[in-house]
Structure 1
Amino acid sequence: MSFSLPRRRDALAILAAATLPRPALANDLRVATVDWSVLETLIALGITPVAAPELLQFREVAVEPVIPAGVTDLGLRGTVNFELLLLSRPELIYSSSFYVSSEPRLTRIAPVERFSIYVPSRPPYEPAAAMMRAIGARLGRSDEAERYIAETEVEFAGLRERLKPHAARPVIPINLGDARHFRVFGADSMFGEVLKRLGLANAWTEATSYSAMAPVGIEALARIPDAWIALIPPVPPGALDVLAASTFWNALPSMRTGRVLQLASINPFGGLPAARRFARLLSEALLTERAHG
């Protein structure tokens, strides 16, 4: 096996990481991941990986679960730092279908196990639950996995009951690309799956690929006048200011009747923890609007 020596700043990062608390390993197995949905699943099961990518960005986009100290940041998800990964000494690396091209290099470091949650035209909730069960079984956390899945179902059932007064109106979950375009999440997205499990309809009924469609012109929102618009970060700088001054935007029925919800950031390609975060944030926003209305 041949790798170039780590750059000085990478070596310093490893030395700094060595002073932090050692990650809690499952079955004495050192686990790393290059995928965020796996990362949040591991942490939800009480397993701290030795290394994972883009941790600063994860904290901004996914927000939760909280990343414990001692996890080495591997840099960008698409181009992880293989030297840092090697120095983290993983005995198992978890990947996903998004990172198949990296697997030849990953397998030179440690065995790789891959999951495929997001597949065109296939809802991702059950695959995410299956991934949690598989990781739990592999790493001695089967009880924790079953408990988390059961708690998720209980939480959804409770929210579904509280949201019954909102069931008559559909919801369209979107990311703004700019002031004129958005990305919309369809039935094969985790957001779409959560809407269904909360007893809410997804206002976007057209086909999507890998969960979403983009770019979609803002004028498409006029075709769903009864919908709640759920704006999910990131929001491009200045986009909301431009929309606030837009005659078209302000004329939309959803805007005129106060049915635009600005949610906090959520990982759109996450696992069950992301699903629960979206369910909670959306429900809180809908229930707050109803209370004020």
Structure 2
Amino acid sequence: MKLKIALICFIIVSCLLWVMCLPDYQTAHVQSDKPQRIITTDWTIAETLRVLQAPLVGVGDKKEYATWVSEPILNNDVVDLGLRSQPNLEVIANLKPTLLINSTWSQNLIPEKLIPIDLAAIDFYTNDGISWLHTVQTTEKLAQLVDKTAQAQTLIRQTEQQFSDNIQRLNAIPQHPYVVVQFIDSRQLRIYGANSLYGVVLAKLNLNNAWQHPTNAWGFSQISLIDLATLPQNTRLIIVKPYPANVHQLLEKNVLWQTLPFSQEHHYYILPATWGFGALPSMQRFSHSLTDALTMQTANGW
């Protein structure tokens, strides 16, 4: 009996000593030198992380990103996480990310209990749309999260310099009011106000945005083709891709479009896809492509 008691005591003491020697999980996790692996379902965050050269390993709707955002191009090793609104949890789990950075409204897309991951929220858009100052400040916050503050300051300076350079180029052309639109179909459009990315860039380039009506929190109003007739006659139309494939053909047959001054050559400009809800990389892309178009440095084809 005494032998049994002694044996039980020995086993208990041995187990306690073994447990005490185990490393504390939380401490080991915090002190780990494991490199960051960042994912996001937000294209605005993705384009900024890409330019900041942060370790981005997964993006929602990667194929559609190529259509709507286009640049900066995502590397081949960046994994498609599935739908932005409903990412594939199995893909994410296999990817073993360490940090999810999303906008506030989409933070709950990935259950933390199922996939242990650090979470961070960054909002480039506000209830009032977008502004230059807020975009700069949010870029700096994002850079702090991923330890890329020097790269962020370079990005901000480059964007400001590009605006200055493009203003000089635009000084040589006649001044007109401008509106930026995207075709939903041949009769419906989104038109962008001052609180949109396009509106911010127009202001930074000292160009007059002719659309002064109220817009939603995303910076645009939905209008019909006939609403374009209310704009000043000398307004120039900036059309941003993508648009439905048959839009041009349908407009050519549309009597209303043919009577609008925008249908005339050099009264409208076709620009490559630029993410209208983006941040500094998209501002740079739009500023460059707009300046090239207005100074006739690029072809104006559908």
Give the alignment's TM-score, normalised by structure 2.
0.81
- Match of residue 241, structure 1, among 227, 235, 249: 249
CA distance in 2, matches of 1:268, 1:107: 33
How far 1:244 sits from its partner (Å)?
1.1
- Match of residue 270, structure 1, among 278, 281, 287: 278
* Residues 166/103 of structure 1: CA separation in 2 closer, same or farther (3 Å cut): farther
- Match of residue 49, structure 2, among 42, 52, 66: 42
CA distance in 2, matches of 1:211, 1:203: 18
Letter in 1 for 2:240: I
- Match of residue 164, structure 2, among 141, 157, 174: 157
Instruction: Name the counterpart of 2:262.
Output: 254
CA distance in 2, matches of 1:147, 1:155: 12
Structure 1: stretches of 5+ with no match in the other structure: 1-25
- Match of residue 148, structure 1, among 155, 163, 166: 155
Instruction: Name the counterpart of 2:102.
Output: 95
CA distance in 1, matches of 2:203, 2:58: 34
How far 1:290 sits from its partner (Å)?
11
1:58 aligns with 2:73: no
Instruction: Name the counterpart of 2:82.
Output: 75
1:226 aligns with 2:234: yes
Identity of aligned residues (%): 25
1:105-120 alignment, distance < 5 Å: 105=112, 108-120=115-127
Q: Is the 8 A contact 1:48 1:71 kept in 2?
A: no
**Bigger Cα Rg:** 2
**RMSD value over aligned CA atoms?**
2.4
CA distance in 2, matches of 1:184, 1:280: 20
Letter in 2 for 1:125: W
CA distance in 1, matches of 2:237, 2:176: 11
1:105-151 deviation digits (Å, cap 9, x = unpaired): 58853121111111232433322222221222222211111011101
1:201-249 deviation digits (Å, cap 9, x = unpaired): 1111111112344531111111112211111122112111111122221
* Residues 60/277 of structure 1: CA separation in 2 closer, same or farther (3 Å cut): same
- Match of residue 284, structure 1, among 274, 277, 292: 292
Instruction: Name the counterpart of 1:7.
Output: none
CA distance in 1, matches of 2:83, 2:249: 31
CA distance in 2, matches of 1:113, 1:137: 11
CA distance in 2, matches of 1:68, 1:291: 28
Secondary structure at the counterpart of residue 166 of structure 2: helix
Matched residue count: 267
1:168 aligns with 2:175: yes
Instruction: Name the counterpart of 2:93.
Output: 86
Deviation larger for 250-259 or 198-207: 250-259
CA distance in 1, matches of 2:113, 2:180: 35
